[in-house]
C-alpha cells in the first residue's frame, strides 16, 4: 500500500489510541509486523504544545519511518499550524482525527463531532493539506449516528481536498465501541473514491482480517484494541495473508520476554515512576485469558518499583500451564 511517496511494507496499520500508541508501543508493533503505526492524537491547541505530555508525543527518536502523527482540533488555522509543527518535528504523514468519540473531544466540536458539519470538514482538510508538503490522511467513523451515516460524502470531500488515504471505523460516534462494527459503509466508501481506504473496527485476528479485506475491498486494515497486549497480531495476520496458514500461539516464555522488553522501553521513555504506572495497563492486557490472571493483576497494581514489577512478571509467566485460553 502506498501513501503519497511512501510505499509501506504491508497494508497493516496500528490505529492511533490515546494513552496507548506512545513511541515504545509504536516501535514494538512496527517490529512485530505493522507497516505503519500512527501516534496518539496531538491537540491543535497551541497552548498545549509546551507541556510534558505533548512533548513526549512529539518525540520520534529511533522510530522507523514513515512517522505518522495524528492531530485533532476544530479550527482550520490551528490545525494547519499543528500540521506544520509536527512536520517540522519529523512527521512524514499527518493524520487528521475525525473519528474520536470521546465526550471531551466532541464537546469542543472536534473528533467525530466534525462529521456533523461537512463544510467545516472541507475547510479543515484543505487548510491542512495546503500547510504541509507531506501526505495528509484522515480517520473517520461512518457518521454521527446510525440515522446520519455520511461517510461516503465525507470521503468524497476528503478526496477532493487532497487527502491521500482514508481510514474508516465501522461504527458511528453514537455507537462508541458497543455492538459490532459494520463494514457495508466501508465497502461503499471504497467504491466511491480512488484514494486508499483502510478498514477499521473489530478486526481481531487473521481470519477476520481476510474477511474484512475481501468484503470491503479495502486497501488495508487498521487494528487498535486487538493489538493491546498482543502486538504480534500484525505478524500473525501478515503471515496468514501471505501463506494462508495461521501461525501457532506464541510460547508463554516468548510472551514474557516480549512484555519485559516492552516495559523496559516504557521505563526509559517515561522514567521509572511514571513508567511503572503506565506499564500496569499493558501488563493487564498481556495477562488476560491466562491462569490466575485476575489475582496477578491485583498484585501488580500495588507494586511501586520496576524491579519488583519485573520479578512478579517472571514468576507469573513461568508458572506451569500458563497458556492463553485459560480463564483468568
Residues with catalytic function: 100
3-state secondary structure the chain: CEECCEECCCCEEECCCCCCCCHHHHHHHHHCCCCEEEEEEEECCHHHCCCHHHHHHCCCCCCCCCCEEEEECCCHHHHHHHHHHHHHCCCCEEEEEECCCCHHHHCCCCHHHHHHCHHHHHHHHHHHHHHCCCCEEEEEECCCCCCCCCHHHHHHHHHHHCCCEEEEECCCCCCCCCCCCCCHHHHHHHHHCCCCEEEECCCCCHHHHHHHHHHHCCCEEEECHHHCCCCCHHHHHHHHHHHCCCCCCCCHHHHHHHHHHHHHHHHHHHCHHHHHHHHHHHHHHHHCCCCCHHHHHHHHCCCCCHHHHHHHHHHHHCCCCCCCCCCC
CA 230 to mean position of chain CA atoms: 13
CA dihedral 89, 94, 74, 186 (to 10 degrees): -160
Sign (positive or negative) of CA dihedral 95, 101, 104, 108:
positive
Instruction: Compute the CA torsion angle 232, 233, 236, 238 (nearest 10 deg).
Output: -110
Amino acid at each position: 500500500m502506498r501513501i503519497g511517496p511512501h510505499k509501506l511494507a504491508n497494508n497493516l496499520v496500528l490505529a492511533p489510541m490515546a494513552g496507548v500508541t506512545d513511541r515504545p508501543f509504536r516501535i514494538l508493533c512496527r517490529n512485530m509486523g505493522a507497516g505503519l503505526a500512527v501516534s496518539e492524537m496531538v491537540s491543535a491547541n497551541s497552548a498545549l504544545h509546551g507541556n510534558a505530555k505533548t512533548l513526549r508525543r512529539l518525540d520520534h527518536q529511533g522510530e522507523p519511518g514513515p512517522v505518522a502523527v495524528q492531530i485533532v482540533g476544530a479550527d482550520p488555522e490551528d490545525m494547519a499550524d499543528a500540521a506544520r509543527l509536527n512536520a517540522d518535528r519529523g512527521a512524514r504523514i499527518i493524520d487528521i482525527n475525525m473519528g474520536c468519540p470521546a465526550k471531551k473531544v466532541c464537546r469542543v466540536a472536534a473528533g467525530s463531532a466534525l462529521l456533523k458539519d461537512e463544510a467545516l470538514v472541507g475547510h479543515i482538510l484543505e487548510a491542512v493539506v495546503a500547510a504541509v508538503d507531506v501526505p495528509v490522511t484522515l480517520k473517520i467513523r461512518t457518521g454521527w449516528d446510525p440515522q446520519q451515516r455520511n461517510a461516503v460524502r465525507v470521503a468524497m470531500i476528503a478526496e477532493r481536498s487532497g487527502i491521500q488515504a482514508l481510514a474508516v471505523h465501522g461504527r458511528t460516534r453514537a455507537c462508541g465501541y458497543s455492538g459490532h462494527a459494520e463494514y457495508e459503509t466501508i465497502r461503499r466508501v471504497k467504491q466511491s473514491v480512488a484514494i486508499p481506504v483502510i478498514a477499521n473496527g473489530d478486526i481481531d485476528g487473521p481470519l477476520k482480517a481476510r474477511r474484512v479485506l475481501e468484503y470491503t475491498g479495502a486497501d488495508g486494515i487498521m487494528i487498535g484494541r486487538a493489538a493491546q497486549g498482543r502486538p504480534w497480531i500484525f505478524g500473525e495476520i501478515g503471515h496468514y495473508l501471505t501463506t494462508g496458514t495461521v501461525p501457532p500461539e506464541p510460547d508463554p516464555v516468548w510472551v514474557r520476554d516480549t512484555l519485559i522488553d516492552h516495559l523496559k522501553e516504557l521505563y526509559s521513555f517515561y522514567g521509572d515512576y511514571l513508567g511503572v504506572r503506565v506499564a500496569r495497563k499493558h501488563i493487564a492486557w498481556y495477562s488476560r485469558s491466562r491462569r490466575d490472571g485476575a489475582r496477578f493483576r491485583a498484585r501488580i497494581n500495588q507494586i511501586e518499583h520496576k524491579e519488583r514489577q519485573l520479578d512478579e512478571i517472571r514468576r507469573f509467566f513461568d508458572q506451569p500451564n500458563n497458556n492463553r485460553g485459560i480463564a483468568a
